Every structure is written in C-alpha cells, then in structure tokens.
Structure 1
C-alpha cells in the first residue's frame, strides 16, 4: 500500500501512541527495551504530544526506570509533536515546501504553528539530504577514468533580494559531470551521467581549493573539459587530460566539447536561489531530489530510508 497522506491519516495520525508505533515499525524509533532492574519489557509512556519515554514502574520491586524513547533519533528533543514532524517529512519529500501551506497543515485546535518552527524542520530535512549524499559519494566509485570525458564548471548561485530584483553575491559551487552515460528519466533518454556538486570552501575560486575537489571526485587519466577559468590550468599536472572550451570566441580545443550539459543540470538550483545561511543544504536537497527522480523511487519511502540511514536505531 502506498504511503500517501490518506494512508497516514487513517493509519498513523490517529494519536501520538499510534504514530510512535508506526515509527518503531519502520525503524525510525527504537523498540521497547528491557528494564535494567527487572528485565521486563518497558512500556511506552506518552505525555502530551511531545514527550515520549520508555518506563518500567513496579511498586513490588520498588523501582521506577525511565528512558527517553526518542534519544538519538531524528525526533529527539522536539516540542513540535510527532505527527507534525511526519507531516513535514511527507510534504518535504514531495517538494511541497510552501510555508503557508505547511503552517496550515500543522496547525490545529486553534493553535497556529510558528513559521520559524517550519523553517527549522525543513532545514533538518535538508540536513538529512546533505548527510545521506555525503555517505553515498564516499562509498561510490570516482567519476571518469581513461577514455571517459568529465565536464567541470563553476558558477555563482545568486538569489533575489526581496522584490527589488537586485542580485546579491551568492555562493560559488563547482559541478562535475561524467558524460557518455545513458540514463533514462521519465522514459526519456538523456546523455548525462553521474554527478557531483560541491560548495567551494571559503567561497573561494582559487586553485588551492578547487583542484583538490576535482581530485577528490575524478579518477586520474580522465579527460576533463573546462572553460577558460585560469583556476583549472594546472589540471594537466595532476594526471588529467585537460581540454579547454572558449565560448567567447566560439573555438573549442576539443571537438564537441561543451559545458552546457553541466549548466543545464544545476539550472533549477540557480533559478530557485539559496539563503545565505544554508546554501550547502539546499544544494544537497536539489541533488538528492535528482537522485530520487533518476532512480524512480517513491519520494516519501526514499526519504524515510535516508532518515534511517542518518539516524540508525539498530
């Protein structure tokens, strides 16, 4: 059965106890442990919608053992309520992140959810994307290799300030894409392959910071195509075959070399714009959603797996 909002309303959002049981069934919260005193299974004790604990209280043995049931989970120390958090998780996974919409969905009994609370939990969800991608890239094979072409390009991500249309300086990122890999997206074949996107350390475009990022993600003896940005000029000394594209003069030093494929893949991030305090998280969100789309996964089920990966309960 698909875990859509109807499913959640009928099976999960009945009360806080039922929501916590669903989290346990999906490995998002720990199972009830054994009491350290008597060895019996501790019971779930819900106080309001926010505090959930495991408790074993027995007058016979004169003990009252209490444990935080959400310790080291995605939901720890939250006063937002489990059902509200799962609601934000669901809509975030489907990219429905309009603040007014989420405030309305998470408000009840005359209590209006604070806008800052929504902002915090969207940030926590983006953090999951960031950490999940980091682990994924650490365990993946490097891009490129002998005979493989990889595009590298840098861009400044800008955002609009209020309604004036004035652009403020954003964050520099470096994108790396492997070509000659066929991927099917929504039944349409596209000639773009595995992808990396890194925030430039200290917002610097110098070779000191950017070249190590390329070495981190690209195999030696790869053919790397870049523009005339002088930062890239030392790549030949790092064991790469480096070719340059001069778009201004319309002269390509490598036949068919172009960095337009790469630019088209981060266009959504460029269009959306990023807040200055969470650029890396929003870039990770964009890349995460791209991974889900390419794999054809259910967004909510995939996000639950990402949360379980970042906050394991076993």
Structure 2
C-alpha cells in the first residue's frame, strides 16, 4: 500500500476560487476534454499526487494498470513488493467510482450554483441518490473549512444573519466533525462573508459571547 497525503483540505481554499473564475467553455476545452487532460489539471492544482511512496520505502512509479480506477496509478519497483495503488489514493476522489471528468464538471456546476437535481441529472447522467450524496459531501467540506479557519465578520452598519444547524458525516466524508455536531454560524448581508463555529449546546450562555 502507498503512503499518501490528504488532498481534501485543498479543495475549498484553492480549487473553488479557480473554478469560480472559469467559463464553461474553458472547462470543456481545457480541463474535461478527456481523462488525461483532466488528470494533468488535477495534479497541477494539487488535487492528485505527483509522486507516491510505498510503505516498503521505495518511490513508486506511475503506470497504466487494469483493475483500478481510471486505469492509471502507482506501482512499487521493488521486485519483492510490486504493490500498486490508484492515483486517487489520499485525494478527494479516492472512494468515488465516477470518472474524474464528471466529478470536476460537478465541482464546476456546484461552485456556479447550478445545483438542481434535474440540471445535474441531465448534464452528468447521475441518479438522484448520487447527486444528493455529492452535494452534501462538498457542502460538508466547505463547512469544515470555515470551522477550521474561522474569520470575524460584520462591523458598523453591517447586518449579520445568524442561525444554527446540525451536521454529521456523509458517505464520502472523512472530516473531523462529530456525528450530530451543532454548528452556529452567520453571514454578512453586504459582503457575503460567513463564519461557522461548532458548539456543544445552543444556550444563550454559549451563543451570546460568539455573537459579540
């Protein structure tokens, strides 16, 4: 087995800003025109590994293999080992059995707020259950990013809308939130900046200091 870092934290702060500035024409012409082009783009943006270390200590080599996702991955050159791993290992896409081109297309649609089930089914061919899973998974990753890196919002003359919600793990998620975790958050009506903070309870003693 390979020793792989996690690339999931890069998705929200690094990739979504890039995707949000992209046009649909650029997406289809420059990224998801084929699997190889898509893979190269994901590697260049830090969402797929460009190198892999085997647990035996040898540097694995890239190659084409049958029986693994995308048909491409890593193999240990050590004759007594010869272990291989998918190129998706350690990535946001590791547990998915969906072509990378479709997943990147979904991320683009999600970031551009094209998220209705009918739209995604028509353009990706996904079923309702898959669409719901992935929408929730990406949403939870965004929530985790704001929980890990909270920023103060608001200020004189700003109206901040606040609310609370309960979050838990999704099918593909490997985040740090506890099952049934209550989260208190708010959005600045002018700047659209948001904050999210995990809380143990929803009492005034807990929430008022956070608002102040």
Residue 23 of structure 1 and its aligned partner are, at CA, apart by: 0.9
Among residues 98, 109, 113, which one is paired with 1:91 in the alignment? 109
Task: Point out which structure has higher relative CO (alpha carbons under 8 A, 6+ apart).
Answer: 1
Q: Are the structure 2 counterparts of residues 35 and 125 from structure 1 closer, same or farther at C-alpha, using a change threshold of 3 Å?
A: closer
Consecutive unaligned residues of structure 1, counting only runs of 5 or more, are: 108-112, 158-171, 179-184, 219-314
Tell me the residue number matched to 2:52: 33
Consecutive unaligned residues of structure 2, counting only runs of 5 or more, are: 1-17, 166-181
Tell me the residue number matched to 2:124: 106
CA distances 1:64-105 after superposition (whole Å, capped 9, x unpaired): 121343223211111122111111100000000011111121
Among residues 32, 38, 42, which one is paired with 2:61 in the alignment? 42
Residue 201 of structure 1 and its aligned partner are, at CA, apart by: 5.9
CA distances 1:254-276 after superposition (whole Å, capped 9, x unpaired): xxxxxxxxxxxxxxxxxxxxxxx
Residue 197 of structure 1 and its aligned partner are, at CA, apart by: 5.9
Q: TM-score, normalised by structure 2?
A: 0.62
CA–CA distance in structure 2, aligned partners of residues 177 and 12 of structure 1: 33
CA–CA distance in structure 1, aligned partners of residues 49 and 146 of structure 2: 24
CA distances 1:115-146 after superposition (whole Å, capped 9, x unpaired): 11011111111012101111221xx45877xx
Q: Are the structure 2 counterparts of residues 40 and 151 from structure 1 closer, same or farther at C-alpha, using a change threshold of 3 Å?
A: closer
CA–CA distance in structure 2, aligned partners of residues 99 and 193 of structure 1: 25
Q: How many residues align?
A: 176
Q: TM-score, normalised by structure 1?
A: 0.44
Tell me the residue number matched to 1:125: 138
Tell me the residue number matched to 1:54: 74
Tell me the residue number matched to 2:28: 9
The answer to whether 1:71 aligns with 2:89 is: yes
SS at match of 2:73: strand
